[in-house]
Amino acid sequence: MTTPEKPAPVNFIRHIINQDLETNKHGGRVATRFPPEPNGYLHIGHAKSICLNFGIAEDYPNATCNMRFDDTNPTKEDIDYVNSILADVHWLGFEWAGDVKYTSDYFDQLYDYAVELINKGKAYVCSLSAEEIRRTRGTLTEPGIDSPYRNRSVKENLDLFTRMRAGEFKDGEHVLRAKIDMASPNINMRDPVMYRILHASHHQTADKWCIYPMYDYSHPIADALEGITHSLCTLEFEDHRPLYDWTLDNITIDCHPQQIEFARLSLEHTVMSKRKLNELVTRKFVDGWDDPRMPTIAGIRRRGYTPESIRDFCDRIGITKVDTVIEMGVLENCIREDLDANAPRAMCVLNPLKVVIESVPADKTEMLVFINHPKTETLGKREIPFTREIYIDRSDFEENPPKDYKRLIPGGEVRLRGAYVIKCEQVVKDNDGNIIELRCRHDEKTLGKNPEGRKVKGVIHWVSATDCVDVEVRLYDRLFRADDPLVISKSADIKDQLNPDSLVIMEHCKAEKSLGTAKAGDTFQFEREGYFCVDNRHSTAERLVFNRTVTLRDTWAKIQEKQA
Ligand code: ATP
Ligand code: MG
């Protein structure tokens, strides 16, 4: 969404597109696509690709971006994944051109092009096993070995390929391979497999097919059939580009999109591979794909991130050809800034300590007016009851305070946010010496102004103990201990990399009464505690559950600074 305040991003891909428009390379058209495989939920790395592809379509006149499922692997795919991916793209605020597309829409054409390649002597049926194909493929320093089936006649190839399609063979008995060059320095060009036999039902085509095309063969053709101009993918496909071009150069098709690679997003303290994320889900280390600790779009949404904050993040990290690992703090700053500007303020005591204000009569309730946001008047005002019994946070009282402690101490004073100054007169303990409550007095003359001649430095948050809501609060931290995603993905068992403190559940937190009507997804700044949102899965009207989206400040940066 380009506005006068927010100019379109500049990056090397947009430079290429600008040049292509000047030279009329693709007839002045710009068409991109986002092509996920529906084998898992989208993650924040996909968001980078989504913002890039759909962002180009938004910014260039008449440009389009297709939504295409790269669904050539039926055993790993599922319609649930299809639906979640579509919902996530919409949630991020993007709209695709026309109908949703599927590579499986083109299975007939892909088959016909394979027959064309066979007829031209550029593809053959190979009857080596997968293991033998791997073994004869050679290495980076040694050429591969020709398959003994490489010189089958066109007639024999056509016959076998037809019978592969007809279901006459078992999985793995034959494959169709491109006939390129087993001595190519690029391993991807050593007669890559184009089709494999897979007797598996497909979520779109059911049992129509028992042979399925490989990604490297189907992707360029699907792009060309859709008239894509710029096929943007991540750097690991750079070595596949010659095969992308070879495929289109050797079939009869009048469109040749340009593949351009960019660096994938990696984030500290997490992994982006759907396979690894799937493992976290299936081994129940997390509460599903949308666990708020997951780097999935669904997880981040449940955590309380807004679409704007994710789009802002993608703008900030930009598009380059250099692989880097982004600090989690960069993502967190985006949501922190968004919520600082837009989330209403509220008070919630996470670790309650009862305070009895003996100077307030037991039957008195005074309604105090609070503004919901210090800068945004449109967020309005609310009333908070002030009563004889209140809660403050246990950490806001110290019997033996360290130097410079500005909050409540025995005999000391503190200001209750938006209310009065109170003085602690007595600390009540149980038989084991645990503090059960504080006895205080308030100073009536201090509502909204400082007491004359007395300096009260500390301001703490509080809620009425007799007029509040009991809520559950979930505090999240990094899911993985290591900051290096490579360490995480290479770890023998992902379990050993998990941060045991990534989730802390606080029950019986006390929130101000106005939060009682909060709905799933609503976000708030809990004064002095951070930004929180109502969980969209476990929260009910009877029992509100809040997720901490992010802390008020970047505490990790501070810890790291100290360590350095
Ligand atoms: P994964 O390893 O997570 O399964 P993938 O690349 O196999 O990733 P796809 O569903 O095939 O996932 O990806 C769809 C699109 O999203 C592709 O164009 C891919 O390049 C892009 N993409 C995937 N991961 C990232 C990432 N970390 N950063 C940027 N783009 C990504
Ligand atoms: Mg994939």
Q: Please indicate whether residue 423 is annotated as part of the active site.
A: no
What 3-state class would DSSP assign to 246?
Answer: helix
- Reply yes or no on whether the pLDDT at 119 is more than 90: yes
Separation CA 428–CA 409 (nearest Å): 13
Interhelix angle for 44-59 vs 79-91, to 10°?
60
Q: Tell me the Cα Rg of the chain.
A: 31
What 3-state class would DSSP assign to 423?
Answer: strand
Q: Which residue pairs from 398-407 have beta carbons closer than 8 angstroms and sit at least 24 positions apart in sequence?
A: 399/427, 399/435, 406/457, 406/458, 407/458, 407/460
| Ligand 1 atom closest to residue 272's alpha carbon, by position in its atom list | 3
Phi-psi region of 88 (alpha: psi -120 to 50; beta: other; left: phi over 0): alpha
| Ligand 1 atom closest to residue 38's alpha carbon, by position in its atom list | 10
Of 449-458, 492-501, 551-560, give the range with the top mean pLDDT: 492-501
CATH superfamily, domain at 348-461:
Ribosomal Protein L25; Chain P (2.40.240.10)
Separation CA 413–CA 442 (nearest Å): 9
Residue 426 has φ and ψ, to the nearest 5°, of -155, 140
- Torsion, Cα 298 300 302 304, to 10 degrees, reads -150
Confidence of residue 547 (pLDDT cuts 50, 70, 90): very high
pLDDT at 7: 78
The domain segmentation of the chain, as residue ranges, is: 12-262, 274-343+471-563, 348-461
Between 28-32, 259-263, 414-418, 554-558, the lowest mean confidence (pLDDT) is in 554-558
pLDDT at 147: 98
Q: If you average pLDDT over every residue of the chain, what do you get?
A: 95
Confidence of residue 449 (pLDDT cuts 50, 70, 90): confident
What 3-state class would DSSP assign to 427?
Answer: strand
Q: Please indicate whether residue 274 is annotated as part of the active site.
A: yes
Query: Which residue type does 115 have?
Result: V
Q: What is the DSSP letter of 260?
A: E
Q: Assign 3-class secondary structure to 352-388.
A: EEEEEECCCCCCCCEEEEEECCCCCHHHCEEEEEECC
pLDDT at 553: 86
| Ligand 1 atom closest to residue 35's alpha carbon, by position in its atom list | 14
Tokens, residue 547: 């997720």
pLDDT per residue as tens digits for the range 358-398: 999 999 999 999 999 999 999 999 999 999 999 999 999 99
Tokens, residue 539: 């929260």
CA of 163 relative to ligand 1 center, distance in Å: 34
- Reply yes or no on whether the pLDDT at 160 is more than 70: yes
- Reply yes or no on whether the pLDDT at 564 is more than 80: no
Q: What is the DSSP letter of 493?
A: S
pLDDT per residue as tens digits for the range 234-289: 999 999 999 999 999 999 999 999 999 999 999 999 999 999 999 999 999 999 99
Q: Is 389 exposed, middle or buried (0-12, 13-18, 19+ CB in 10 A)?
A: middle
Residue 257 has φ and ψ, to the nearest 5°, of -65, 160
Please check whether residue 544 is in contact with residue 471, taking contact to mean a CB–CB distance below 8 angstroms. Answer: yes
Q: Which residue has the tokens 């994944």?
A: 81
Q: Which of 264, 406, 441, 513 is flagged as catalytic?
A: 264
Share of the chain above pLDDT 70, in %: 97
pLDDT at 448: 81
Q: What is the mean pLDDT of residues 548-559?
A: 79
pLDDT per residue as tens digits for the range 125-141: 999 999 999 999 999 99
Please check whether residue 522 is in contact with residue 534, taking contact to mean a CB–CB distance below 8 angstroms. Answer: yes
Q: Identify which has the larger pLDDT, 311 or 486.
A: 311
CATH superfamily, domain at 274-343+471-563:
Ribosomal Protein L25; Chain P (2.40.240.10)
pLDDT at 557: 60
| Ligand 1 atom closest to residue 70's alpha carbon, by position in its atom list | 11
| DSSP H helix total and E strand total for the chain | 14, 27
Query: Which residue type does 244 have?
Result: Y
Separation CA 350–CA 509 (nearest Å): 5
Shortest-distance Cα residue to atom 4 of ligand 1? 274
Residue 496 has φ and ψ, to the nearest 5°, of -70, -15
Confidence of residue 561 (pLDDT cuts 50, 70, 90): low
Ligand 1 residue neighbourhood (C-beta within 6 Å)? 35-37, 45-46, 48-49, 70, 233-234, 264-265, 272-274
Confidence of residue 45 (pLDDT cuts 50, 70, 90): very high
Share of the chain above pLDDT 90, in %: 92
Q: What is the DSSP letter of 489?
A: H
The reply to whether 274-343+471-563 shares the fold of 12-262 is no
CATH superfamily, domain at 12-262:
HUPs (3.40.50.620)
CA of 355 relative to ligand 1 center, distance in Å: 53
Separation CA 535–CA 170 (nearest Å): 48
Q: What is the mean pLDDT of residues 2-20?
A: 85
CA 238 to chain centre: 25
Residue 135 has φ and ψ, to the nearest 5°, of -65, -35
Q: Please indicate whether residue 510 is annotated as part of the active site.
A: no
pLDDT at 186: 97
Confidence of residue 233 (pLDDT cuts 50, 70, 90): very high
pLDDT per residue as tens digits for the range 178-230: 999 999 999 999 999 999 999 999 999 999 999 999 999 999 999 999 999 99
- Reply yes or no on whether the pLDDT at 70 is more than 60: yes
pLDDT at 498: 95
- Reply yes or no on whether the pLDDT at 6 is more than 80: no
Burial pattern 311-338, b for ≥16 Cβ within 10 A else e, equals bbbbeebebeeeeeebbbbebbbbbbeb
Shortest-distance Cα residue to atom 2 of ligand 1? 273
Phi-psi region of 380 (alpha: psi -120 to 50; beta: other; left: phi over 0): left
Contacts of 392 (CB under 8 A, 6+ apart): 349, 352, 353, 355, 408, 416, 438, 460, 461, 462
CA of 158 relative to ligand 2 center, distance in Å: 30
Length of the chain as a residue count: 564
- Reply yes or no on whether the pLDDT at 1 is more than 60: no
Confidence of residue 560 (pLDDT cuts 50, 70, 90): low
Please check whether residue 189 is in contact with residue 226, taking contact to mean a CB–CB distance below 8 angstroms. Answer: no
Return the bridge partners of 296, or none.
43
